[in-house]
Amino acid sequence: MQIHPEDTAVVFIDPQNDVLSEKGLSWPLVRESLQENNTIENMELIFKAAKGFDFEVFISPHYFYPTDKGWKFNGPLETDEANSGLFARKGVLNLDGLEGSGADWLERFKPYIEDGKTIVVAPHRVWGPESNDLVLQLRKRKISKVILGGMLANMCVESHLRELLEQGFEVAVVKDATAGPKHPEWGYGYTAALINYAFLAHAVLTTDEVVKAMQKDSQ
């Protein structure tokens, strides 16, 4: 997989407080994996490289609105998210309470996301991009290759990987720019994700490898 700014973009999933901040609702489950992988620091390195070497950056966020409480059925993690208020917002057209909330961007990422150049797509409603406009936004910019990272490794990141592959994109997953939950009953999601990345992705790279590839193309 060759990386070029003309046809390759960075896509980060859910760079939000509830899965990245010490104050986030998911912190107890993801803390160890974030620390083991140096995830937040690695995501920032990729943000910096992408901006420095003119690679487009896309954000696919996850939001829950009050109307979503009317859903008649959910999976186990969806149920937990709905009950806990993970990624909760007060409405599609309402930004009240968003600043600093669990649904807001991690503070250290805001300069990259809010620079007027990063493309924030519509929120995905479950795990994958089937329910948002990520694929449309990529296609409209003639992006055919994706460098993928963000949260959570075995849920939204893997779901985005699978759908992007089905849509005909080449996808490289950055294995240390993601992390997974360690659940006492369900197991370690990051381990499950790494196995599936190896089977599915066109490349499974480290942050260092991605940054070097971006830099090499710019020379």
Instruction: Centre a 10 Å sphere on the Cβ of residue 199 and count the other Cβ atoms it contains.
Output: 8
- For the segment 32-57, the average pLDDT, to the nearest whole number, is 98
Q: Which fold has domain 10-38+52-138+152-218?
A: Rossmann fold (3.40.50)
pTM of the model: 0.95
The domain segmentation of the chain, as residue ranges, is 10-38+52-138+152-218
CA–CA separation, 29 vs 27, rounded Å?
A: 5
CA–CA separation, 150 vs 83, rounded Å?
A: 23
Chain mean pLDDT for the chain: 96
List of E strands, the chain: 8-13, 56-60, 119-120, 145-150, 170-178, 182-183, 187-188, 203-205
Whether the CB-CB separation of 67 and 74 falls below 8 Å is answered with: no
CA–CA separation, 105 vs 114, rounded Å?
A: 10
- Indicate whether 83 pLDDT > 70: yes
In this prediction, residue 84 has a pLDDT band, given cuts at 50, 70 and 90, of confident
Bridge partners of residue 88, in order along the sequence: 64
Whether the CB-CB separation of 18 and 28 falls below 8 Å is answered with: no
pLDDT digit string, tens, across residues 170-200: 999 999 999 999 999 999 999 999 999 999 9
Q: Which residue has the higher pLDDT, 79 or 160?
A: 160
